[in-house]
Amino acid sequence: MNNVLDSLRGRDLLSLHDFSPQEITHMLDLEGNLKQKQKKGESHQLLKGKTLAMIFQKSSTRTRVSFEVGMFQLGGHALFLSANELQLGRGESIADTGRVLGRYVDGIMIRTFAQGDVEELARYSPVPVINGLTDLLHPCQVLADLQTVREHKGKLSGLKLAWVGDGNNVCHSLLYGCAKAGMHISVASPEGYLPHAKIVAQARRDADTTGAAVTITIDPAEAVAGADVVVTDVWASMGQESQQRDRMKIFAPYRVDAGLVAGAAPDYIFMHCLPAHRGEEVATDIIDGPHSVVFDEAENRLHAQKAVLALLMA
């Protein structure tokens, strides 16, 4: 346990691919522990006096609020920094921004477009950098998702998760997360919108060590067959607004509706990172129905990120 703790202190969270299955399990264990403490009103000020800078180049409800509240509950402080209002927006380099912020704060969370920018920030920042979503990955979301599955199903290993829709940032992080957790993952996306081949290959290598199967298909019914967890996300992510109309047509056969989930396990759970577009990627009766756990999932962002913050920044 202490070795895992030591291996996490001071690290960046750029991608779940960088963490061992044991390290991810440890994050989930601490998440459960901190969640219980918070529910019981027990003090857990593991980051007293510490500050997190939060740089946002894209919109956010859950990520912003859960990181800010999480730092407060851990006894620390969070600073919201809109990229447009930083000198970053006027051309100051990511490298200099990282070097300067690292002189003031104990950790940096960033939501931006290019994964390379997060990696560059991490290279120059003397304090841990946490990926709060890029075009490529959304690791914090998937830590909350794994915890949500674990709470509802009592385990992760051996379950089947089906992803239906765009092979996007959340899908990529789920590929890594499921592979590391020993969960079978089946992704169904239209031709041209499949997850990146390199990420699929890396997830398959991760899965080799845990016994998980990684399947990629264009057939949503095949992906959902017997699934314990059915997940989707918006058809056009932030930054893809101009493609919205085309995507509405291309993705229409990938809507998660009653017909599609009829093929899932009878006690399947439905997850969505939110924000959702009801009637587009998911039918209203599914996201608001008895199998949906989307608000537990949203809540777990708070607990998952508190565990990450405490482990990396302590």
CB of 138 to ligand NVA, least distance (A): 6
CA-to-CA distance for 201 and 214, rounded, in angstroms?
9
CB of 176 to ligand CP, least distance (A): 17
CA-to-CA distance for 12 and 44, rounded, in angstroms?
22
CA-to-CA distance for 46 and 67, rounded, in angstroms?
14
Beta bridge partners of residue 231, listed in sequence order = 163, 271
Stretch that binds ligand CP, among 20-28, 54-62, 89-97, 284-292 (CB under 6 A): 54-62
Beta bridge partners of residue 186, listed in sequence order = 162, 215
- Residue 302 near ligand NVA by CB under 6 A: no
**Which residue in 111, 247, 291, 303 is the catalytic one?**
111
- Select the binding partner of residue 112 from ligand CP, ligand NVA, none (C-beta < 5 to 8 A, by kind): none
3-state secondary structure of 184: strand
Q: Which of 169, 173, 186, 300: binder of ligand NVA (CB under 6 A)? A: 169
DSSP code, position 13: B
* 141 part of the active site: yes
Torsion of CA 17, 79, 65, 107, to 10 degrees: 20
104 touches 51 (CB < 8 A): yes
Q: Which of 15, 51, 57, 63: binder of ligand CP (CB under 6 A)? A: 63
- Residue 305 near ligand NVA by CB under 6 A: no
**Which residue in 12, 106, 166, 233 is the catalytic one?**
233
Q: Which of 237, 292, 300, 305: binder of ligand NVA (CB under 6 A)? A: 237
Helix axes 294-313, 62-73, angle to 10 degrees: 50
- Residue 57 near ligand NVA by CB under 6 A: no
CA-to-CA distance for 181 and 70, rounded, in angstroms?
25
Q: Show the binding pattern over residues 84-123: x = contacts ligand CP (CB under 6 A), - = does not.
A: ----------------------------------------
- Residue 273 near ligand CP by CB under 6 A: yes
The dihedral region occupied by 101, where left means phi > 0, alpha psi between -120 and 50, and beta the remainder, is alpha
CB of 308 to ligand CP, least distance (A): 14
Residue nearest to ligand NVA (CB): 237
User: What positions carry a catalytic annotation?
Assistant: 111, 138, 141, 233, 273, 301
Q: Which residues bind ligand CP (CB under 6 A)?
A: 60-63, 133, 141, 273-274
